[in-house]
Amino acid sequence: METTELWKNTISYLETDLSRGVLNTFFANTKLSSLDNGKAQVVCPSKITADYLRRRYLPQVSQALKSLTEKDWEVEFQVSQENAPIKEAELGPLFTPPALDGLVSRYTFENFVVGLPNQLAAQIASSLVEGAGNSVSPLFIHSGVGLGKTHLIHAIGNAIKERDPQMKVLYVGAEQFTNEFIKSVQNSRSAAVFRKRFRAVDILLVDDVQFFAKREGTQEEFFNTFNELYLAGKRVVLTSDQHPEEIKKLDSRLVSRFCGGVVADMQEPDVDMRLEILKRKAAEWEQAVAEETLLTLAQDISGSIRHLEGALNQLLAIATTKHIAPTRDLAQAILKNRPQPQHFLKPQDVIAETSAKYGITVEEIKSAKRQKELVRPRQVAAYLLRALAQLSLSQIGEMLGGRDHTTILHSIQKIEKEQQENQILKEQLRTLRGEILGKTS
């Protein structure tokens, strides 16, 4: 059997064990070059590909060849001569500090609103910039979607560049890192360029690392990149919508590295923060808006800051177009007509999981009873129904036994405030979030 046909059959054989993504990414452009003296030489388009196949899939390839030829083979992965590894000196200066750092200049510490829900993350980020946080690496910031972690990671990069323009700072989204990595495996020059781009930096900022989940090859490469930067005393800042230990299908080595620095979470902004965010956003429009109008929006819209700013933009756009004042009545009309978010979880699950966590029944949490052992679970359920299901205050009140708007708002604000000072409550909320969201994955 010719080597070309045998290798084609080998890859077909591997389809039963390996995913199509792995085969398309790492086995594309490989070929079986020779079978001689018990050795099977597989030629790869780049050193990244050869190294990865050797570490991760050598046993599977050896077994496939044995099954097809009924012989044992010592498999060797080599780089083709036309794609031989390139020395770093031959690449020239790949890193262009100001132009290609990926930073968005409008995201700064000056326009980042700080309050109890994000105070710790903001303080650690600031100390890292000031130099007091040199030992903080990695800094891992996690929060729900739209709560400002991307703003904060860009603010870190922009502040460092402002203090020292010579610092090599690079921001990249995890998806972009993955896409560039996949392209790099096709030839050695691309691989060398890729590695130098991400390793020849003083600080690497990586956004949305939960995107690495289930992507074994990308995780392997990022692990090596992270280690090289860490051992060189460089700094790494990461963001995610989950705590490292909650990201499913993330390599345990990466989880360990991510948790080895400082892990800081950012909670949903409380009413005071939301009001301040709206005031600053209104100032950008150079439009006078009464505080009671802004407060109406701040009290009704929780969760994503983008949703909050979007409602204000809609209010001011209507007011400007129609030449009317942005009044509280107009704000209430906008809130009434706002489309409700699609829910990927059942609100009933939030109540059921919360009840089970505190050892009470769903009937008890909805009841009119006010025993201490029922009040706290009820407050937590209200908070989570707002945070996860994004229900209105009146909807939450209905689900919790017909309670009024004011009672629900008080419950949510109480939990928002207490979790900043009560680590036990904070951990309970984190665990509950994971259990509830796990039902929707």
Annotated binding site: 146, 148-150
Enumerate residues 6+ apart whose C-beta is below 8 A from 341.
390
Enumerate residues 6+ apart whose C-beta is below 8 A from 37.
none
DSSP element (H, E) containing 411: helix 405-418
* Polymer length of the chain: 441
Distance CA 259, CA 141 (A): 11
Look at the alpha carbons of 124, 223, 259, 132 in this order and tell me if their dihedral is positive or negative. negative
Residues forming the annotated binding site for ATP? 146, 148-150
Enumerate residues 6+ apart whose C-beta is below 8 A from 86.
188, 189, 192
The answer to whether 309 and 281 are in contact (CB under 8 A) is yes
Q: Among 220, 120, 203, which Cα is nearest to 156's?
A: 203
Strand (E) positions, 300-341? none
Enumerate residues 6+ apart whose C-beta is below 8 A from 328.
290, 292, 293, 296
The answer to whether 238 and 139 are in contact (CB under 8 A) is yes
The answer to whether 305 and 268 are in contact (CB under 8 A) is no
Three-point CA angle 416, 389, 368, nearest 5°: 70
DSSP element (H, E) containing 121: helix 119-130
Tell me which residue has tokens 């966590």.
357
The answer to whether 230 and 257 are in contact (CB under 8 A) is yes
Distance CA 31, CA 3 (A): 8
Q: Among 127, 102, 105, 123, which Cα is nearest to 114's?
A: 123
Phi, psi angle pair for 65, to nearest 5°: -65, -40
